[in-house]
Structure 1
Amino acid sequence: MQRSDTVLKQVMAAFERESHLKLHHHPIHMNFDGDALIVAGEVPDVASKKRLLQLTQMHSDGKRLVDQLRVTANPPVADGELRTHLCERLAQSVDFRNCVICARVKGQCEVLRGTMDEAGNVGSGVIEVTVEDGVVTLTGQVISLSHRRLASVIAWWVGGCRDVVNLLELVPAEADGDEEISDVLHLVLETDSRVRAEQITITVENHRITLAGWVATEAERRQAEQDAWCLDAVGGVVNRIQVRA
């Protein structure tokens, strides 16, 4: 079996080649625990987190990964404030207008919009938000994979979020695929006022996203990539967007 420090060196070398970023100020730790490989530390953004996890999976000889990577919150945000802001964003989103929105506060479920009797209605659903140490956990049920993925993206967009655990159930069940990922990413980019979605093209093959087109600034280019990485269950993101002043 490989040593954890060997895996770490391989992963970090691959990460720097692929992302052109160095994480000297964000130390990463790995160690084996039985049949699992624990990956811990802090990273600057969601793209770095998910890229590191995918590279670790490639170099870990099939070991089960335990994800303890967290995105640095700068400035830090209290759990209650993060929970409130996220619930407000979900309630304001037109895509969740028929969802009951709840918050778990000190172990108790507080219904912020709608009633629990409405949660099972056709065309409805329920999202419960829990926040602990900056980690957002989403539970309940939604009506489509797009809604499930969009809920994660909105959580990542709220300042102070360090990780998202999406446990939302899908009712009714729905097959996943490249077209679904492409559709929801189009929706995400159109929703994000920081990017001009009409100038970006999206190709998805085997759950791997390729972005192309052109934008006016490097910040906009990076934001489009961050948005793509915010989606759950994608096989990677290739950013070929060009910057044209």
Structure 2
Amino acid sequence: MQRSDTVLKQVVAAFERESHLKLHHHPVHLSFDDGALIVTGEVPDVASKKRFLQLTRLHSNGERLVDQLRVTANPPVADGELRTHICERLAQAVDFRNCVICARVKGQLEVLRGTMDEAGNVGSGVIEITVKDGVVTLTGQVISLSHKRLASVTAWWVGGCRDVVNLLDLVPVEADGDGEISDVLHLVLETDPRVRAEQITINVENHRITLAGWVATEAERRQAEQDAWCLDASGGVVNRIQVRA
């Protein structure tokens, strides 16, 4: 058996134990190339994607990981439509009211709100959105880690997004920490109308998020976990939320 097949078998077994999801209808492949472990395929949601990648790192013996894993878009959304919806949501979000919003369309930069002269102003910033094959790339600069993470969440919340590559710079540079992750997740849950944030508790230790509390439905429980995984917290997410009818 090839080494990549051995790693894949270990990762899939661990994934199915942790998530209780089967990947029979969402085939994932691993391959080694030039010292890197390449992960390709499709999974049903962002939580599955992030959990699978985390487990792959644990079993890869330190090899460089190349992420080509995508979330299934059902129904598919054209790149232009997806880009428009993300730009609209960012422009409408209170937290990005001072940001210049741009889109990269057929190689050309279109400024949708503000001017590039405003991008470097104090309390401002610029977010450029590019979409190719359902993969959203965010470039530019924002003023805090919270803004950077919120930009990822905003993109993931738009239907049809298959992946988010967040390359936003921070100006000024800011150190990450458990308190920062906890604060921004509280804000995300309070913003998401699909969950009741007041019934969910958050604990972050070494960048690992643990959710607890109770909600009324399994769908709400899953959505809270999806929101947490969208933040790109390197320690992962543990969902201990209970469902009470």
Q: Which residue of 2 aligns with 1:195?
A: 195
1:147: how far off? Answer: 0.1
Contact kept? 2:71, 2:163, Cα under 8 Å: yes
Partner amino acid, structure 1, of 2:177: G
Matching residue of 1:68: 68
Instruction: Report the secondary structure of 1:29's partner residue.
Output: strand
The separation in 1 between residues aligned to 2:104 and 2:126, in whole angstroms, is 13
Give the aligned partner of residue 224 of structure 1. 224
- Corresponding position of 2:176: 176
Match of 1:84 in 2: 84
Residues 50-129 of structure 1 aligned to structure 2 (within 5 Å): 50-129=50-129
Matched residue of 2:120: which SS?
Answer: coil
SS at match of 2:87: helix
Q: Which amino acid aligns with 1:193?
A: P
Residue 40 of structure 1 aligns with which residue? 40
Q: Work out the CA distance in 2 between the residues paired with 1:172 and 1:232.
A: 20
The alignment's TM-score, normalised by the length of structure 2, stands at 0.99
CA contact (8 A) 1:15 1:52 kept: yes
Letter in 2 for 1:243: V
Number of equivalent positions: 245
The question of whether the paired residues in 1 share the 8 Å contact of 2:209 and 2:233 is answered with: no
Q: Is the 8 A contact 1:209 1:234 kept in 2?
A: no
1:34 CA drift (Å)? 1.8
Q: Percent identity over the alignment?
A: 90
Runs of 4+ more than 3 Å apart: none
- 2-structure distance, mates of 1:148, 1:24: 34
Answer yes or no: is the 8 Å Cα contact 1:5–1:30 preserved in 2: yes
- The offset of 1:233, in angstroms, is 3.4
Alignment gaps of 5+ in structure 1: none
Please state whether the residue corresponding to 1:32 is helix, strand or coil.
strand
Partner secondary structure for residue 76 of structure 1: coil
When normalised by structure 1's length, the TM-score is: 0.99
The Cα RMSD (Å) is: 1.0
Q: Does 1:26 align with 2:44?
A: no
Q: Which residue of 2 aligns with 1:145?
A: 145
